Amino acid sequence: MLEGISGVSTYAAEVDEAFWIVTGLTFLLFFATIGAMFYFAWRYRASRVPAFEAKNIHHNTALEITWTVIPTILLMVMFYYGMTSLKAMRTFPDEGVKVKVTGFKWAWRFEYENGKKTTELYVPVNQNVLLEMSAPKGDVTHSFYVPAFRVKEDVVPGITTRLWFNATDQGQFDIKCAEYCGTRHAYMLSKVVVIEPDKFAAWMASDKMTPFDKDPETTASAPAVSKGETLFSMNGCNACHSMEGQKLVGPHLNDVFGTEVTVTTNGEQRTIIRDEEYMTRSITDPDYDLVEGYLPGMMPGYKEMISPEDIQEIVKYLKGDTPPPAAAPVAAKPKIDGKQVSMLNGCIGCHSEDGSKVVGPSFKGIWMREVNVVEGGNVKTIVSDAEYLREAILRPNANIVEGYQPMMPPYEGVIKDEEVDALIEYFKELK
């Protein structure tokens, strides 16, 4: 929404000042020029100035000096404010939280100093954050843009560009790609989540994927994550609904089951109990009972996107039902999750999981599928086994599937061998 419209970085005020001064002067000059034009058109209309009376004026020194000096001063004023705000932005602090940003077709990935990777950028409030940004070789130019911080910088393949900010408020702020980069440019969105420094530090020291995840191993006998909780994060519910009591885009959802809430239903306010029926309807038809203080149309209806059984699992999770104890003790080293690799590397931007054709072929049923590939101009039929899939990920343009264009960037050197293996394991599951 309009979160961040007032600017939430240390230099936002200076950028805004420059913006308003330039805008103000532009309006002033616009009205002065257009005003003078209308005035002269009226003052010297044909009926008032017979043609033979017109004098041919050669020059007027005082007037010419005036219209040279005043605009020069105005331009210097604009230059001054533009320069000082640019200087504030481009003077990098020595210390700060360092994050590597990768922009690629068509997603963002953030890597922290300890190797943690996320798809949303988590940063501590009131601390300097230094970004080193790049795009994989063979990708295209993107632009990292956070309107709330008043900052934008190109992300270019093979080059490292830098940017810094110090966020002055907690909350979630949009990240956009501000450089047209192809089919899904408009969907190349993410968020900066500004949190308390303590929470950030604790997250850095933990094994948690994001600062909002439950600790995976609080105690030795901790139950495995329930199906409902997994579904809750997989469907992105946690992007808008906190399970820790804060208001994000939507209401927080921990400890709300069975409590009263004021909603608007068909234009009428009423107070209802948040029971199973209410929770289910809030997922399938979110605008039906609109909670006070929230806007309609923010949440998509999940009726078509999540099966009724899975919705029941999510409701069970929100209700706080304890999941069944883990069948086996948790292994020390978590294995790499192929689905996670696919998300972090933006594969799902172009390859669906459900059989639909997006930009590239769907992952559903890709394992051991017979495909026609074009190799050096000749079409041949092959079986997409592990060897083929590995090639298709690392060097996609060597064997293009018939009917597709060579547009995927090569992932050689971008993802690790184990990650390729994990992806292939994940493809096997998508029958």
Residues engaged in binding ligand CUA (CB under 6 A): 103, 106, 142, 177, 179-181, 185, 188
Q: Which is nearer to ligand CUA, 181 or 237 (CB)?
A: 181
CA distances from 96 to 47, 130, 341 (A): 72, 6, 28
- Min CB(336)–ligand CUA separation in Å: 26
Q: Which is nearer to ligand CUA, 177 or 306 (CB)?
A: 177
Identify the bridge partners of residue 103 per DSSP, sorted by sequence position: 108
H or E element in which residue 201 lies: helix 197-205
The helix (run of H) or strand (run of E) holding residue 371 is: strand 370-375
Q: Is 221 helix (H, G, I), strand (E, B) or coil?
A: coil
- The three-point CA angle 357-360-365 to 5° equals 65
CB of 99 to ligand CUA, least distance (A): 18
**What is the rounded distance in angstroms from the CA atom of residue 239 to the CA atom of residue 173?**
12
The smaller minimum CB distance to ligand CUA, of residues 122 and 145, is found at 145
Phi, psi of 151 (to 5 degrees): -140, 145
Q: How far is the CB of 146 from ligand CUA (least distance, A)?
A: 14
What is the nearest approach in angstroms of ligand CUA to the Cβ of residue 153? Answer: 13
- Find how far residue 78's CA is from the centre of its chain: 32
Task: Decide whether 272 or 358 has the Cβ nearer to ligand CUA.
Answer: 358
Cβ 110 to ligand CUA, closest distance in Å? 15
- The answer for residues whose C-beta is within 8 angstroms of residue 4's C-beta and 6 or more apart is 147, 148, 149, 169, 171, 173, 174
- Assess contact for 293 and 266: CB atoms under 8 A: no
Cis peptide bond upstream of 20, omega within 30? no
Smallest gap from Cβ 136 to ligand CUA, in A, equals 12
Nearest to ligand CUA of 179, 419 (CB atom)? 179
- Judged by CB, which is closer to ligand CUA: 178, or 389? 178
